Structure 1
Amino acid sequence: MVSQGVDRSESPAAGSAGSSSGILAEAQRRRSFAVISHPDAGKSTLTEALALHAQVIDSAGAVHGKSGRRGVTSDWMEMERQRGISVSSAVLQFSYRDAVINLLDTPGHGDFSEDTYRVLAAVDAAVMLLDAAKGLEPQTLKLFDVCRSRKIPVLTFVNKWDRPGREPLELLDEVEQRIGLRPMPLTWPLGIAGELKGLIEVATGEYTKFTRAAGGATRASAEVVAPEVVAADEPQFWSTAQDEIALLEEIGAQFDEKEFLAGTATPVLFGAALSNIGVARLLDALVDLAPPPSEREDAEGRPRALDTPLSGLIFKVQAGMDRAHRDRMAFLRINSGRFERGMVLTHAATGKPFATKYAQAVFGNQRTTVEEAFPGDIVGLVNANALRPGDTLYASGPIEYPAIPSFAPEHFSVARCADAGKTKQFRKGIEQLDGEGVIQVLRSDRRGDQAPVLAAVGPLQFDVVAARMESEFNAPIRLEGLPYQIARVTDEAGEAALSSQSECEVLTRSDGVKLAVFSNKWRMDVVIRKFPDVTFAPLLAGTVTD
């Protein structure tokens, strides 16, 4: 069961939400964050456990296929349920204490890094999820680089402490040495990984013992136990934990808010999302420590005050979220002002009006009508066929936020309609998936519209396209791989130069950008030396893909 909607009855700005002070007060209540991790670190399980502890669902599911339980609320795509992975970002909005939480679950699989990058453009903080046994993994490192570049404060949750893993001090040292974040533990585990007895609050010494619920489907019961009782029951574990906490104090690992907000230190909490242990403490830490929305800079580098007229960034476009709704939804991060359903906004890219009659609050694949929203909130705009990721909407006073760059694709396939009678559906489907940013669609005069080239960061993106083309558009496709690995931005001069070259060609993206594609780096270097005056510029630096 899901309790939908956001309760505003306790709002400190009730009755004056449209005023400048009311907007600022509402913005202070918002906490918008993403959960980032390497695949299989337990990200989707943690996402649902947070919703469980906020009491907006009454039972948690884990990724399909684990212990035979149902799929997580945030994994709504059929492919996600079948494979047990998250391949699309999802939004969960709910109330907790006096805060309004906008929780964005991101794809863990590296092939969908571009979707994660877009999500990180819409949040104010991130939870970095670490596997207690594996620690920092390549995808975790790359995603943290994106957080660092965007100056996003990061909280760290060491997950799966109920399974065998590494020493806690070893994990903290790895975080500091490999990504340069000073760890500041807020909780400390009693018991080694795989024998978790409970958690100690580092600042106060308070100890909480947990009893896992059957199957982890409901919240674990928590009991505060006096230190002398714990010391008598678990003398060895208690002594070790006290020595480790004393060492943390000696080396100055205490929490420092300024360092956290500056992105130079990270609060660390331990737990087990599948057993719902330590999750409530993480949720409280997010409300207490994560920053509320702040002014965001426009494309010219000018900060946009929170209480100025409404403006926001489209960071995701998605269709097919619910079989009962064959519409297309654009996710708008509110950056300033008060959103009211029905208001007419301006689409900065075209200057055309955009009506918001069908505005929705989203909880996974479930949706409810939203009447108002404030900075930090995520609003789903239905039937947003003209909107693309990176677009700006505003109410008055023209503004445009920095566009979200496209990644350099590394995999290319020609798509052909498998059924000649489905040509119309084929074109519609390819156009829609391109608009959502699921795949980059490239075209050339040589191949024509009947055989567009699909360009992807990872090959699993092709599987998503094929599955959605068949299930949503009834237009099965055939994919023919192309021998290209590298793409660079070029122009008409580059197109003319490459027309006579082998193992490369120029394709045009749907936004008009010309991409020169090469079979390998050696071939590209040869072409660049041969045509030194022609532009072959890199796309977005491979922050999370290299």
Structure 2
Amino acid sequence: MSVAADSQPQQAQEVAVEAGRRRTFAVISHPDAGKSTLTEALALHAAAITSAGAVHGKGDRKGVTSDWMAMEQSRGISITSAALRIDYGECVLNLLDTPGHADFSEDTYRVLSAVDCAIMLLDSAKGLEPQTLKLFDVCRARRVPVITFVNKWDRPGREPLELLDEVEQRIGLRPTPVNWPVGIAGDFRGLLDRASGRYTKMHRTPGGATRAVEEELDSERAAEVEGAEWDQAQEELALLDEIGAHVDEASFLAGESSPVLFGAALPNFGVSQLLATLVDLAPAPGAKPDAHGRERPVSAPFSGQVFKMQANMDQAHRDRMAFLRISSGRFERGMVLTHSETGRPFATKYTQAMFGSQRDTIETAYPGDVIALVNANALSVGDTLYAGPKVEFAAIPSFAPEHFAVVRAKDSGRYKQFQRGIAQLDAEGVVQVLTSDVRGQQAPVLAAVGPLQFEVVTDRMAQEFRAPVELNHLDYTLARRTTPECAPTLHGLSGAEVLTRRGDGELLVLVHNKYRLRVIKRDNPDLVLEPLLAGGAEPDE
């Protein structure tokens, strides 16, 4: 037997061991639930940073590791997802922070295609909010198990049992508390671990920028210190025991239950318990089905899928980075992979591990890891890279756009910069760019899930590409796929416009509203008007 053949089982074993150490997860929530603050707190408790920048509040986010864009820091919202690689004990955590605002749902959906678990963040006062529900539906569709973290328990909020009941009634997940708060929302005393019975009393540190001081008390001392609050917590725990609300790993992985933890990310209460639960319960990377439904084990030759493109993270170099989630095999910097979509070789000399906007060269990586390929001009979202026999993963669907606007360069002398910028934002998935022979290349149509995406385009075109633009909003709310044979008929109808979708070359027809679509369908039953593949539901027809 050759040395190369003998090394294959050893490498497969190494890959399996390393994959077992990985936990790749996303943090999802409604806006203002504290998602970026929790991301910062997780990094702090994992000793990846020494001081949490989010504690200064929304008005000053320059210290927030995951919010690196200038517009994120000035507006106080997460606009784009961010990747953070953290070594925590024996584990490697690949944490993906996501935008919470509904207008950036498509970016969040792409991230959820690259993770094995999600932390769903709930505001203790507001509970399940519309965007939280939508994101959970995406997790359910992608079979991503969910850990629930009830945040802001240091502020006035609802009863814990009421929140659990809402989770079960509205999304059908059986909540199984891992810990239980002592003290009502707004009077957070500490956390009682259900499995061990250990009570941890929390003490806030000045400003909340460093880890909270945790003091362990036995039950007798806890009862003495907390008094009536301790007694109430014991009564509530007895009720949970009676209804059998115990953590069950099998039902969690099957998407039937959700482990629930309580805490407060801002003062760093309960974050270490969340990290421990994540390591214990979140699944390690496993076999992933390819585009034909065949399971590809983690020990197979290298393969991975691009789930995000991002330009100009380094303003000095104007780079374009492809974020790739490794599905199988061992990655070694410098290896030459094959681009599944073109069959061409792709060199990986410049490969980095990301920590927000910070980057370090990475030499090796394993299934579950997220790596950034620098100057990846040939790659797009959804592309597969592989070594050995060909493999291709299913495309990542796009959301159906509901807002449309014509974009033009304010300065005709900057047209080349305009073209380059619009093409880049299209490749990143910031917006979808549509063209037509009638409007011409100088006036493409931008299609977006929400209007805030247009603000991102306007800001980035001016700041990054030095090509200020003006937008003219169109009175369309729906897009449907059609065929070249149907285009002449559709061109003659009022309230509809046919455009080419850049990239895949498909024809889309834009329609004013669902009522106009019904009329068009009624009067032209033979027309092809197919819904777009969407991560969220299409508007009712």
TM-score, structure 1 length as denominator?
0.96
Of 318-327 and 420-429, the range deviating more from structure 2: 318-327
| SS of residue matched to 1:85 | coil
| SS of residue matched to 1:204 | coil
The correspondence for 2:509, drawn from 501, 510, 516, is 516
Q: CA deviation at 1:494?
A: 2.3
Gaps of 5+ in 1: 1-14
Of 62-71 and 460-469, the range deviating more from structure 2: 62-71
Q: CA deviation at 1:323?
A: 2.1
Query: Mapping of 1:40-55 within 5 angstroms?
Result: 40-55=32-47
- Alignment partners' CA distance in 2, 1:39 and 1:18: 46
- Alignment partners' CA distance in 2, 1:65 and 1:179: 31
In structure 2, do the counterparts of structure 1 residues 421 and 65 end up closer, same or farther at CA, with 3 Å as the change threshold?
farther
The residue number in structure 1 matching 2:452 is 460
Query: Mapping of 1:172-183 within 5 angstroms?
Result: 172-183=164-175
Alpha carbons 2:62, 2:68 under 8 Å: kept: no
Amino acid at match of 2:127: G
The correspondence for 2:85, drawn from 87, 93, 112, is 93
Alpha carbons 1:457, 1:545 under 8 Å: kept: no
| SS of residue matched to 1:22 | helix
The residue number in structure 2 matching 1:480 is 472
In structure 2, do the counterparts of structure 1 residues 386 and 263 end up closer, same or farther at CA, with 3 Å as the change threshold?
same
Amino acid at match of 1:540: L
Instruction: For residues 482-522 of structure 1, give each alpha carbon's deviation from its aligned partner in whole angstroms, at most 9, with x where no partner exists.
Output: 11100001111221111111111111111201111001111
The residue number in structure 2 matching 1:330 is 322
The correspondence for 1:528, drawn from 505, 513, 521, is 521
Count residues with an aligned counterpart.
Answer: 532
Instruction: For residues 357-399 of structure 1, give each alpha carbon's deviation from its aligned partner in whole angstroms, at most 9, with x where no partner exists.
Output: 1000000000000101100000000101111111111111111
The question of 1:537 aligning with 2:538 is answered no
| Identical counterparts, % of pairs | 64
Instruction: For residues 301-356 of structure 1, give each alpha carbon's deviation from its aligned partner in whole angstroms, at most 9, with x where no partner exists.
Output: 00001111100110000012232331000000000000111111111111111111
The residue number in structure 1 matching 2:420 is 428
Alpha carbons 1:412, 1:454 under 8 Å: kept: yes
| SS of residue matched to 1:473 | coil
Gaps of 5+ in 2: 1-6
| SS of residue matched to 1:189 | strand
The residue number in structure 2 matching 1:301 is 293
Alpha carbons 1:411, 1:458 under 8 Å: kept: yes
Instruction: For residues 465-495 of structure 1, give each alpha carbon's deviation from its aligned partner in whole angstroms, at most 9, with x where no partner exists.
Output: 1111011110000000011100001111221
Q: CA deviation at 1:66?
A: 3.8
Q: CA deviation at 1:545?
A: 7.7
Amino acid at match of 1:316: K
Instruction: For residues 410-429 of structure 1, give each alpha carbon's deviation from its aligned partner in whole angstroms, at most 9, with x where no partner exists.
Output: 00000000011100100000
Query: Mapping of 1:311-460 within 5 angstroms?
Result: 311-460=303-452
The residue number in structure 2 matching 1:497 is 489
Query: Mapping of 1:101-140 within 5 angstroms?
Result: 101-140=93-132
In structure 2, do the counterparts of structure 1 residues 414 and 67 end up closer, same or farther at CA, with 3 Å as the change threshold?
closer
- Alignment partners' CA distance in 1, 2:192 and 2:156: 19
Of 423-432 and 227-236, the range deviating more from structure 2: 227-236
Amino acid at match of 1:216: G
Of 175-184 and 223-232, the range deviating more from structure 2: 223-232
The question of 1:283 aligning with 2:283 is answered no
- Alignment partners' CA distance in 1, 2:74 and 2:463: 14
In structure 2, do the counterparts of structure 1 residues 74 and 541 end up closer, same or farther at CA, with 3 Å as the change threshold?
same
- Alignment partners' CA distance in 2, 1:318 and 1:535: 35
- Alignment partners' CA distance in 1, 2:61 and 2:482: 50
- Alignment partners' CA distance in 2, 1:32 and 1:433: 26
Instruction: For residues 64-84 of structure 1, give each alpha carbon's deviation from its aligned partner in whole angstroms, at most 9, with x where no partner exists.
Output: 654756441000111110111
Amino acid at match of 1:222: E
- Alignment partners' CA distance in 2, 1:523 and 1:544: 19
- Alignment partners' CA distance in 2, 1:532 and 1:139: 35
The residue number in structure 2 matching 1:262 is 254
- Alignment partners' CA distance in 1, 2:16 and 2:43: 26
Of 111-120 and 487-496, the range deviating more from structure 2: 487-496
Q: CA deviation at 1:526?
A: 1.2
| SS of residue matched to 1:228 | helix
Amino acid at match of 2:357: N
Q: CA deviation at 1:540?
A: 2.2
In structure 2, do the counterparts of structure 1 residues 45 and 542 end up closer, same or farther at CA, with 3 Å as the change threshold?
same
The residue number in structure 2 matching 1:24 is 16
| SS of residue matched to 1:274 | coil
In structure 2, do the counterparts of structure 1 residues 211 and 70 end up closer, same or farther at CA, with 3 Å as the change threshold?
farther
Alpha carbons 2:263, 2:271 under 8 Å: kept: yes
Instruction: For residues 61-105 of structure 1, give each alpha carbon's deviation from its aligned partner in whole angstroms, at most 9, with x where no partner exists.
Output: 117654756441000111110111001000000100100000000
The question of 1:215 aligning with 2:207 is answered yes
Q: CA deviation at 1:18?
A: 6.7
In structure 2, do the counterparts of structure 1 residues 156 and 545 end up closer, same or farther at CA, with 3 Å as the change threshold?
farther
- Alignment partners' CA distance in 2, 1:408 and 1:429: 23
Alpha carbons 2:291, 2:393 under 8 Å: kept: yes
Of 204-213 and 435-444, the range deviating more from structure 2: 204-213
| SS of residue matched to 1:178 | helix
The correspondence for 1:470, drawn from 462, 466, 469, is 462
In structure 2, do the counterparts of structure 1 residues 108 and 450 end up closer, same or farther at CA, with 3 Å as the change threshold?
same
- Alignment partners' CA distance in 2, 1:233 and 1:402: 56
In structure 2, do the counterparts of structure 1 residues 17 and 269 end up closer, same or farther at CA, with 3 Å as the change threshold?
farther
Amino acid at match of 2:529: F
Q: CA deviation at 1:542?
A: 5.4
Alpha carbons 2:309, 2:427 under 8 Å: kept: yes
| SS of residue matched to 1:246 | helix
In structure 2, do the counterparts of structure 1 residues 67 and 320 end up closer, same or farther at CA, with 3 Å as the change threshold?
closer
| SS of residue matched to 1:458 | coil
| SS of residue matched to 2:267 | coil
TM-score, structure 2 length as denominator?
0.96
Alpha carbons 1:63, 1:85 under 8 Å: kept: no
- Alignment partners' CA distance in 2, 1:323 and 1:245: 53
Instruction: For residues 454-474 of structure 1, give each alpha carbon's deviation from its aligned partner in whole angstroms, at most 9, with x where no partner exists.
Output: 000000000001111011110
- Alignment partners' CA distance in 2, 1:409 and 1:25: 42
The correspondence for 1:246, drawn from 233, 238, 242, is 238
Alpha carbons 1:63, 1:81 under 8 Å: kept: no
Instruction: For residues 191-226 of structure 1, give each alpha carbon's deviation from its aligned partner in whole angstroms, at most 9, with x where no partner exists.
Output: 000000000001122110111111110000101012
